[in-house]
Amino acid sequence: MRGMFFVSLTLSFLFIQAAVLRASTLLVPGSYPNIQAAINAASPGDVVLVSPGQYPQNLDYLGKAIAVRSVSGPAVTTINVNGGTAVNMESNSELTGFTVSGAAADFGAGVAISGVGQLIKGNIFQNDTETAGGFGAAIGGNNASPTVEDNIFRNNSADSQSLSGVVCFVNSSSPVIVNNVFYNNPTRAMNFILPQGATPEVINNTVVGNTVGIAVQVFAPGNIFRNNIIADNGTGLASGHIGLTWQNNLLFDNTTQYTDISLTGTMGNLEGDPRFAGATDFHLTPGAAALAAGSPLLAPAVDFDGTPRPPSSIDIGAYQLSVPEPSGFLLLLIVSIPCLYLRPGRRLRSN
């Protein structure tokens, strides 16, 4: 029996290894004229690698577990559509490094997702529109559990009905939303309408200048909202759900900080000035109330910029205050200190 188990395990390993070896990188526009053409040709596990440019096409992953990544990032690589859903994704797929704009749809205008294991990372979602009666101007998830990380969401719009927002999840969804920046969206930044058993994690995001920062319509506990800055919104947290885990969040200058409940002063939650670097630059500056006020529980190891977050000094929000390297003069002074010594009966001298 043990021998049969070993043979079965070996065959499984070889099958997985063969699948990895078969994975290919498809180049756009080097080998394929556009992104959808590469997706059409891709097999599960493949990577579509996209060079800088404007790509005016609506994309459908066709249910394939593939990665679509830009070579040089969202500043120079744009999926710019004229209405409709910009990107349709299903389980275990990836979208990294694009600006997604011009989408207009009822369900997931920028990205519509279902299933689990997606990665949406390092993108900019701007000027996308959720049409009347839908949900998700930038990302709409239905029974979806992706990781949404290091994205910027700005100037996206939706109506005011209860499902609306920039990033919305409904039904049995348990997304992980970390290190994102939401600003100047005339709607809810995040909206969760979830049933018993859903366990979203919303950690170290910066949410500024939206109609509502976070709206939670959850019917069971087990939902984690931690280390988020929510500032200058119409409403900070819109929720009457007292079972959620709301910890180490910083609220500041929202017209209404909380609806139905107030959590300031409990579980590490506070109110204070985040002292942003600029009107649209949400890096922290010295004296910010967010400094070292976060919790290390489930906090990402690095911030939006890739700056490490020391476990003993987690800042609230998408950015960790970086400590500048010592100047050359200061470094020389530090190195020289061990060369100072005292001779018996003499004053401090320099060697």
Report whether 138 contacts 109 (CB < 8 A).
yes
**What does the pLDDT read at residue 260?**
77
The answer to whether 102 and 81 are in contact (CB under 8 A) is yes
CB count in 10 Å sphere of residue 128: 30
What would the two tokens of residue 191 be? Answer: 């909206």
For the chain, report the end-to-end CA distance as a whole number of angstroms: 76
* Global pTM value: 0.87
Mean pLDDT estimate for the chain: 88
Mean pLDDT, range 52-56, rounded to an integer: 98
199 neighbors 174 (Cβ within 8 angstroms): yes
Two structure tokens written together for 255: 């017209």
One-letter amino acid for residue 167 of the chain? V
Answer yes or no: are the C-beta atoms of 202 and 180 closer than 8 Å. Answer: no
Q: What is the DSSP string of 105-137?
A: EEE-SSEEEEEEEEEEES-EEES-EEEEEEE-S
Number of Cβ within a 10 Å radius of residue 142: 18
Question: pLDDT tier at 29 (50, 70, 90 boundaries)?
Answer: very high
Q: Please, which residues have CB within 8 angstroms of residue 212's CB and are 6 or more apart in sequence? A: 165, 187, 188, 189, 191, 233, 234, 235, 236, 238
Residue 207 in this model has a pLDDT that exceeds 70: yes
152: which 2 tokens? 């910027």
Q: What is the pLDDT of residues 312-338, one digit of tens each?
A: 999 999 999 976 545 544 434 334 444
Which domains, and CATH codes, for the chain?
24-350 (2.160.20)
Which one is predicted more confidently, 189 or 13? Answer: 189
Q: What is the CA radius of gyration of the chain?
A: 24
Q: What is the mean pLDDT of residues 83-109?
A: 97
Average pLDDT over residues 135-142: 97
